Each structure stands twice: as C-alpha cells, then as structure tokens.
Amino acid sequence: MSVEVTRLSSGLSVVTDRMPHLETASLGVWIGSGSRNERPDEHGISHLLEHMAFKGTKRRTARQIAETIEAVGGDLNAATSAESTGYFARVLKADVPLAIDVLSDILSEPTFDAEELRREQNVIVQEIGATEDAPDDLVFDRLQETAFPLQPIGRSILGTPDTVRSFNPSRLRAYLTRNYRAPNMVVAAAGAIDHSGIVAEVDKRLATFKGPAAPAPEPAHFRGGTKVETRELEQVHIAMALQGLPVRDEQLYSLQVFTSVLGGGMSSRLFQEVREIRGLCYAIHAFHMPFADTGLFGLYAGTDESDAPELMRVVIDQISNATETLNDTEVNRAKAQMKAGLLMALESSEARVGQLARQMLAYGRPIPLEEIVAKVDAVTIESARAAGRALIGRAKPAIAALGPGSGLASTAAIAESLVRRAA
C-alpha cells in the first residue's frame, strides 16, 4: 500500500492509500467541524446540515442524489461527531470520478429548500425521540452533559426539538460558510484509486472552498458531577467518566492500554469480575474518547436495580486495583489487541479511509503503521499504571444514571468515592 498526500493551494488536503488488490474504492470529504463549533443558538445545526446536504443541489434533487450513486451499485452516507463531519461513498473503481462529483455537489451547491428542510427537521425530531427511548444511548448524552456542562462539547449532537425546528436556510448557509473552509477539510480515499486523478478532480470541483481556517471551538473544561434520572425501566443504566487525555498527548497509548485491560473485552478485569464471576450485569465496558484538547475515560454498565450498588463498589475497586496491579500478561494482551485492530483496519478500504481522515485532522499528516506500532510497543506496565493513577487524580468523576428506584443517588455516591480514595 502507498499513502500519498497533496495539499492544494486553497489549504485543502488530499490523502490516498492505493490498495491494488481491490476493485472498489472508499472516499469522502471530512471537515474539522462538528457540534463543538456550534454557537449557543446553533445546538444541533451541524447534524442538520449533514442531513440537508443530501436534500437537493442546483443540479440534482434529493432523489437524483440517491439514484446517481445507487445506479452504479454504490452507497452514500455521512456522520457528525463533536469535532468533525464526514460525507463519504463507496463505489467501483470506474465510478470514483462520479462519487467525487456527487460529494462535491452536495457540499458546494446545496439548495436548502424550505420544504425539504421542514421534512428533515421532522425526521431529526423523530431521531431525538428514538434516542430518548434508548436508555443505553441516552445515558451517554447525560454523561457528556455532566462532564462538560454548559459547553458545546457537552451537548447532544442531535440538538433538541426546539433548536432543530428553529433553523432556516439562511442560518444553515451561514454555518456552512463559517466552518466549511479548505484548511479545515480533508479528502481521503482508499482502495482502487489513482492519487493524481483524485487530486485533479478535487482541485476542480471543490475550488469554491477557500479562505482562512474556521474559528477554533472554545476550550473544553471537564467539571464532573452527578446526573440521576428516575425512569420506569427494566434496568439501571450507569455511565461514569473521568477526565482523559487529548489525542496528541504522549501518554495516550499508555492510557489506551490501561483502558483495554480494565474493560476492553471479554478477558478484561471488569468483564471477568463483574459479569463472569459475580453475574452482576450483562453488559459492561470501559472506553476512552480523545478530543483535540481533552479526553473522556469512562465505563458503562446495565444492571438490575438491586445490584447497582454492589456493581459500582466492584467497579471502583477494580479501577483502584488496576493502577497498582496491572501485570505483564494483561499489558501484552492489550497491546496485541491494539496492533491487531490496526492491521485489520488495513484490510478494509472503508476503515482505512476513515483512519487516514482522522489522522490528517488530528495530526496534519498520515501516521505510518510502524510509528503507531512503535508507540504501542513502548507502553510498559509502569506507564500504563501511571496513566490510570493520573486519571483518578485529575478531577471528580462525572456520573449519569437512568433507571427505576431511589437507590441511584447512593450508587452515584459510591462512584464519587473513587477520587476520595485516590486523595
């Protein structure tokens, strides 16, 4: 595989990875702008804009956009996160120019038709309602709000019914103009592609994106706290978070190893102790989400109301113990899992193109596999333990809990004892 990068005069970057054994290609346009870039009166506009890009351009109706790609057997999709928005396609190699044409069309010349906007606002309001009915998803929104209160990074990406319905075509266009700037954009492609051909197409079709970089989002400030919501549910859903590390932090890989040992799979400490030995839950896992200037380390579990306090006590014990007792076998297993995941991603053009886009947005360059593997291999038992100890010494945790009963507050209080124990 051969990774190539070209930076256009506008500031837009093109990165490709040719995978000659494939007959298909995955490609897309990623913008380093997401819900964090929203102003107080723009909650949910990033996600709405992503939807509206597919609802008609000066050259194509919404139906023609879908039919153009599907007529050649391809597919088209998009996704919004806190810090980026991506629009991507997968097609046969002969249809790469067509995919670039469609992607550039929906980004460069959206019409934001008022009637299409009204319908799509209603669709997103239904999506918000579906999330409200899915407590294992909703608890993560509540966790983010608690970790970063009154901040764009702490708000739901979807917005609220009121904010979503408040937007009009001119506000969508203003947000796009402010944030979709060439220096903040990456075109990535992987599979059966030709780098020079893609560069030529992109330079021609995305020339309207220019100007200085978009305004930077406000810095994130992890606060922590507790948000308990009583609901008539079959289970209690609990999520806890501590302040993690930003994506460029030198200790990131040590923390990722710590996270994996603690709750990254069926062999992890939490899965084994909480589920396999004690039978306190069906689902439990730990995670770490790095952002540009902060991070979120956390865990999630769904359990019976009566088991929630014991589960949380076991979780707190496992986190504390792991900072002192991580062993060589566990660390090596976590490192092997991380490296295997990296190699497996290289076998899929979709996974590879997403990986390249994220690297360009975060680091300004594609990161060679050898460099990542070297950083994973450099993690030691002590560096992983130290990463865990630093977690519980930074700030009080954020806790979100949804479910029945009056014992949620006491369960949350057990989680808060983690920082007191560290002190």
Active site residues: 50
User: Helices (DSSP H) in 74-113: which residue ranges?
Assistant: 96-108
Please identify which residue in the block is written with the tokens 């589920």. Answer: 275
Give the phi and the psi of residue 398 in degrees, each rounded to 5: -100, 130
Could you give the dihedral angle defined by the CA atoms of residues 270, 271, 272 and 275, in that order, rounded to the nearest 10 degrees? 110
Kindly tell me the burial class for residue 217, based on how many C-beta atoms sit within 10 Å of its own C-beta (0-12, 13-18, 19 or more).
buried
Cα angle for residues 290, 293, 299 (degrees, 5° grid): 35
Give the separation between CA 208 and CA 331, rounded to whole angstroms: 49
Rounded Cα distance between 331 and 177, Å, is 46
Question: Would you state the torsion angle of the CA atoms of residues 195, 200, 201, 203, taken in this order, to the nearest 10 degrees?
Answer: 120
> How many angstroms separate the CA atoms of 35 and 12, rounded?
21
Chain position carrying tokens 């113990």: 321
Neighbours of 55 (CB within 10 A): 20
Give the SS3 label for residue 131: helix
- Residues sharing a CB contact under 8 Å with residue 51, sequence separation 6 or more, in sequence order: 78, 120, 123, 124
Give the H/E segment covering residue 80: strand 75-80
Q: What are the tokens at 404?
A: 């029945």
What's the CA dihedral at 343, 283, 84, 75 to 10 degrees?
70
Looking at this protein, which amino acid is placed at residue 118?
R
CA dihedral 351, 355, 356, 357 (to 10 degrees): 100
